[in-house]
Structure 1
Amino acid sequence: MTRPTAVGPPAYTETLPCKPETARRARLLVAAALNTWGMGELADAGTLIVSELVGNAVRHTPCRLVRVSVRRVTNDLVRIGVTDRSPALPKMDLVAGGDETGRGLMMVDALSHRWGYDEMRWGKTVWAELAVPPC
């Protein structure tokens, strides 16, 4: 009798309604994954990043659902992604000091090791990577 073996890196994913309150569930998913993997020091940045990515999908796309994923790429690198069905690509806008919105991707850029997006025929995934700081 054979035993199943893991293929690919550990990951968590959940499909959720495209609503503002989804950000809370997404934060819980990311925090749980990071703590499970012993990467709790990344939880503050990770939960803020996923909140911004979910918020952008809710505000800027006509989506009904989003898929939130957090994947351990290597022992010291995690990728957080939000997938929606909109072809509209994210862009980082310059904002004026008094503007109340428009800073989400700037925060993602500041908090992450790197970020980007993967286009698909039916939508996109916007992702950000977090690296465990060297000891």
Structure 2
Amino acid sequence: MTALQAEKWTPPDRFALEMHACPENVFLVRHLMDQAVEAWGLTELRDLGRLILTELTTNAARRYPGTLINVWVARPGRPLIEVGVWDHDSTTMPRIIDPEDADESGRGLFLIHELTNGRLGWQPSPHRGKVVWARFGP
């Protein structure tokens, strides 16, 4: 048995993906979430994670079509999961719209805010652009 065989593999605390912002690529983030929760043994958070990360990615794809975005699923602490989307625009920050004021769209951030017990945020990235993130778990 070699030293590599004797060591147990430890999954990373962060799974990331760089992709072009377009509706056809949004399915990729669901697979990213699947891989992360499987590796961490947190499959009970799969559906919620897929919903939240898909919504954040769809927002970026609608607002910045064709540009590069970075998407990640991280585990800052067990069983807490953090998801985030980086885009190039540091001048336009998201805002939560009250569902009564929203038309047929625009409710996504409100729903994420509710589903995460307020653990939703955004800020300019230190280099350029912005990050929109959410944390969820018990």
What TM-score bracket applies, with the shorter chain setting the length? 0.7 to 0.9
Mapping of residues 48-63 of structure 1, within 5 Å: 48-61=51-64
Structure 2 residue 120 is matched with structure 1 residue 119: no
Contact 1:15/1:65, CA 8 A, preserved across alignment:
yes
Deviations 1:2-31 (A, max 9, x none): x9xxxxx71100101110122100111012
The CA deviation string for residues 13-58 of structure 1, in whole angstroms up to 9 with x for no partner, is 0101110122100111012101210111111110000111011112
Give the structure 2 partner of residue 99 of structure 1: 103
Q: Give TM-score, length-normalised by structure 2.
A: 0.82
How far is 1:62 from its partner?
5.6
> Retained in 2: the 8 A contact 1:116–1:126?
yes
**Are residues 97 and 117 of structure 1, via their aligned partners in 2, closer, same or farther at CA, if it must alter by over 3 Å?**
closer
- The residue that corresponds to 1:45 in the other structure is 48
Q: Gapped runs of 5+ residues in structure 1?
A: 4-8
The answer to whether residue 88 in structure 2 is matched with residue 110 in structure 1 is no
Partner residue, 2:21: 18
Question: Percent identity of the aligned residues?
Answer: 35
**Corresponding pairs, count:** 125
Contact 1:82 1:125 in 2 (8 A): yes
Residue 36 of structure 2 contacts residue 73 of structure 2 at CA under 8 Å; is this kept in 1?
yes
Name the TM-score, length of structure 1 as normaliser: 0.83
For residue 99 of structure 1, report the CA deviation from its aligned partner: 2.4
Q: Runs of at least 4 residues of structure 1 off by over 3 A?
A: 95-98
In structure 1, how many angstroms separate the alpha carbons of the residues matched to 2:97 and 2:27? 25
State the Cα RMSD in Å. Answer: 2.0
The CA deviation at 1:108 is 1.0
When residues 98 and 108 of structure 1 are mapped into structure 2, their CA distance, relative to the original with a 3 A threshold, is closer
